[in-house]
Amino acid sequence: MYKSAFPFALAFALSAVRGFSEGWPEGKTSDMFDIGTGKLEIVFLGHSSLIFAYDGAYIYIDPVSQYADYSKFPKADLILITHQHGDHLDPKAIAALSKPQTRVVLSKGAHAVYGKGEMLDWGQAARAAGIVAEAVPAYNVTSDHLGYHPKNRHDNGYVVTAGKLRIYIAGDTEPTAEMATLGSIDIAFLPMNQPYTMTPEQAAAAAHAIHPRILYPYHFGSTDPKVLVNLLSHTSDIEVRIRKLQ
């Protein structure tokens, strides 16, 4: 973990204060952020499954039954699905989390597989549950990995804006040209499992392009996240936080 050099006021806003991890089922942990308009709690369920709890609403990203028993968790106001692979799109988990008002937002390919919900393509945005979620490109660029997440399938990452905070959930991707155009990013989740997404070296390159103030490696499988920590050890203004997100 790195000591951040950004200004004190912003550091306070982004610092992880005590989350209510004791209140989450199955011992799931969380980080809490003061974002000016309230508090955003990010709950780490495992792999690429996350909860954003904000202003009384619950936003789930890629909920998958393998990582949580969703009958024990609050119902979702919004569910964001990055793409159709089974470790990201789980109809059983969506059903367990859904109430009549739940909005399910999916990538183009995931929408075709799931058969319902709202399709969000690159550059489009959805406003729901007090946040704005913009779909951004996610795809492989390494020549022998192109079949995992082909660019023409339009898998999604999401930039979520909650209050003054902008959070990049990269989805399954390698470093793309579009990452440099995302604008200011406060928190980034970057995948690092092999051979499907980024190597630690690619994740470090992506971090330099995006320059988040806080970086969470996620979906990292058997890849050692400490390798990324070491690669960014001279980058004093990016704080790397390791959580249980294999």
Give the residue extent of every domain in the chain. Answer: 8-239
Q: Is the pLDDT assigned to residue 5 strictly greater than 50?
A: no
Q: What percent of the chain has pLDDT over 70?
A: 91
CB 63 within 8 A of CB 70: yes
Which pLDDT does position 6 carry in this prediction? 35
CB 24 within 8 A of CB 35: no
| pLDDT at residue 10 is higher than 80 | no
Q: Bridge-partner residues for 52, per DSSP?
A: 42, 59
What's the pLDDT tens digit per position in 31-90? 999 998 899 999 999 999 999 999 999 999 999 999 999 999 999 999 999 999 999 999
For residue 14, the model assigns a pLDDT of 55
Instruction: For the domain made up of 8-239, give the CATH fold.
Output: Metallo-beta-lactamase; Chain A (3.60.15)
Q: At residue 19, does pLDDT exceed 80?
A: no
The pLDDT value recorded for residue 235 is 87
Residue with tokens 């990269």: 170
Q: What is the DSSP string of the chain?
A: -----S-HHHHHHHS-B---GGGSGGG-EEEEEE-SSSEEEEEEEETTEEEEEETTEEEEES--GGG--GGGSPPPSEEEE--SSTTT--HHHHHHH--TT-EEEE-HHHHHHH--SEE--TT-EEEETTEEEEEEEE---SGGGTTTS-GGG-EEEEEEEETTEEEEE--S----GGGGGS---SEEEEE--TTTS--HHHHHHHHHHH--SEEEEES-TTS-HHHHHHHTTT-TT-EE---S--
Query: pTM of the predicted model, to two decimals?
Result: 0.91
